[in-house]
Structure 1
């Protein structure tokens, strides 16, 4: 089974309509418009995928459909997929922790990763929670309406729902300069007495099972982005213009992608079989799936580069942007960190080999 056989092919639009690879600002505007369309009525004609409101939550045990939608978005445009994945993750967090839906026309982000620099602080003043500090690399800084933001309070790390159209929230000009993932609208954001509404108690958003299940969504986006990069090899094969050298690289790429998609499908079944993580398997599963996706992405980039040479990078704007986007996004989730944690979890097994995770199959 190939990756194409597992997930529907991306519709051919016939035009590179997601922004100029040479103009990051144009890419950001184009992706923001597509993201706004997806959060409203969707954009099926453009090949971006179904409306985000139609993408199922994990809780109804339709994880495979959720991951398929993210894969297709990653294949269409990885910057768009990053914004969509953040919005869908926010919808899931609000549902699982607070039992609250998002409002019509709202576009949400999740800015909750633990940054290398100090996180913003949170203080309670006269019953209002206020956030102060700078959070780096916030996707959707200009185009989102709300964000779930983690901040350090006196009693620990909390998550807050923050309305971005307030004077205390300001994207930091000049903090985003890269071409890769330019359309994701990611930059540093400064908070100055910005009002936020607590979402659950201390650690509520990380303690829920869905926190570990979310890794599969990131993996789906990455694998969709890898398939977009590989399109230049698949296209050569369809035109029968590929030599034996390129065909060997395509064979390697197809094996990597189809195997990773199979693992992703298995992860979806396992999540749906145990959505509340009664077996305690979610952490190891998430680490495995995300690490595999990142390793596959690195191999796909290498094989496509050797198999196609420099021509598509120099003459095909869509391919050049897809390769740049994938290179940046996979670096946001350092594979070594996940592999090291996975190794430590296995080192911590008891004498019976019980680590609370899944068996190696």
Structure 2
């Protein structure tokens, strides 16, 4: 594997060179392994200078995410929600590198050293309610699938205000915030615990108006940012297939596996690149449909890559190569953020409803 740095190798730009580069302003070394405090510290440092989702630089954001995933899937899994949160805050006029704080986030101890999660999942029997009184807003209830809630300092959390949802910022060290520590028996992404959080009159600050979080175009952009991570992680498996195909004893079948994977990942790269251009140009397209297409194409390419790597390389790297085995396990779990047939059904409905379906 190459040195621990973000490189131009897994690039979304078709005319980029192949020499290692370190994008200006970003630290070059990418944390590997499961040292979550070290990964979070790196993500915070990167976040200070990284472009924001929504400022016309989404191609650069996706390059950064794909490059991080190419080196370590777990690092990208932590970086993506941190950058997503910073982009969401920027879309509301907040800049943690300046004095722009229209939603009074600093009352929660927020600054440019904060690490962020985005907790927007819903689950059966779990609901978070937001209420306002003379002392301000508080949250009550349980939120499922809160990644790294015991590790990050702050989070953006969706909560119900009546029948609609609104986004709130919370300090995860505050009184009334109780992250669960499991169950989490995952073999992939073992250090990135995604468990419920209980809120009991926990102080919160609204971010954006009621319903804004789900209506904004950036909601779709964030879903595609995850796809950029999937793609970068899968490119790392293509590297292993290329190494095997280049071996002296390789046969035609090794070339078949590499060719199938290269084609699928090249197609996904082209889709991500076009989507980035559409987003950055603010093209008049249905962003929901675009996001579903991008995620479906990318998850299919990554899933095929996992299957071809299994068939081509057999069990040996899964039991004898720590880095390879970890990448396979991490990527397999990460891909479960795509909900298979349910997401395909949603895409089908959007195709019928959207004027951009052709």
TM-score by length of 1: 0.83
SS of the equivalent of 1:305 reads: helix
Q: Could you say what secondary structure the match of 2:170 adopts?
A: strand
| Unaligned segments of structure 2, at least 5 residues | 1-8, 22-29, 97-109
1:227, distance to aligned residue in structure 2 (A): 1.5
**1:225-251 residue CA offsets vs partner (Å, 9 max, x unmatched):** 111233321222344453221221011
Aligned match of 2:106: none
- Residue from 18, 42, 46 that aligns with 2:32: 18
May I ask how many residue pairs the two structures share in their alignment?
327
| Aligned residue in 2 for 1:339 | 344
- The answer to whether the 8 Å contact 1:134/1:189 transfers is yes
Does the CA contact (< 8 Å) of 2:120 and 2:158 recur in 1? yes
Residue 355 (structure 2) aligns with: 356
1:9–1:290 Cα change, 3 Å: farther
Which residue of structure 2 lines up, in the alignment, with residue 62 of structure 1? Answer: 57
* Distance in 1 separating the partners of 2:31 and 2:168: 35
Paired position in structure 1 for 2:274: 266
| Partner secondary structure for residue 61 of structure 1 | coil
Q: Relative contact order (C-alpha < 8 Å, sep 6+): which is higher? A: 1
Match of 2:318 among 309, 313, 318: 313
1:74 aligns with 2:88: no
Aligned residue for 1:182, secondary structure, equals: coil
Unmatched segments (≥5 aa) in structure 1:
20-26, 41-50, 349-354
Which of 182, 187, 192 is matched with 1:184 structurally?
192
3-state SS of 1:121 partner? strand
Contact 1:109 1:147 in 2 (8 A): yes
Q: What's 1:193 paired with?
A: 201
Confirm or deny that 1:204 pairs with 2:212: yes
Deviation at 1:338, TM superposition (A): 2.3
Residue deviations 1:87-118, cap 9 Å, x none? 11101111113434362211111011233442
- Secondary structure of the 2:191 match is helix
TM-score (normalizing by structure 2) = 0.84
Q: Show the 5 A alignment for 1:80-119.
A: 80-101=75-96, 103-119=111-127
Shift of 1:293: 1.1
SS in 2 for 1:161: strand
Q: Confirm or deny: 8 A CA contact 1:80 1:183 kept in the other structure.
A: no
Give runs of ≥4 in structure 1 deviating > 6 Å.
none
Query: Aligned residue for 1:217?
Result: 225
Q: Aligned in 2, Cα 1:31/1:237: closer, same or farther, shift over 3 Å? A: farther
1:9 and 1:228 map into 2 onto residues whose CA distance is 16
Instruction: Give the deviation of 1:358 after TM superposition.
Output: 5.8
**What secondary structure sits across from 1:183 in the alignment?**
coil
Which shifted more, 300-309 or 239-248? 239-248
Deviation, 1:271, is 0.8
| 2:44 maps to 1:39 | yes
* 1:45-56 matched pairs, under 5 angstroms: 51-56=46-51
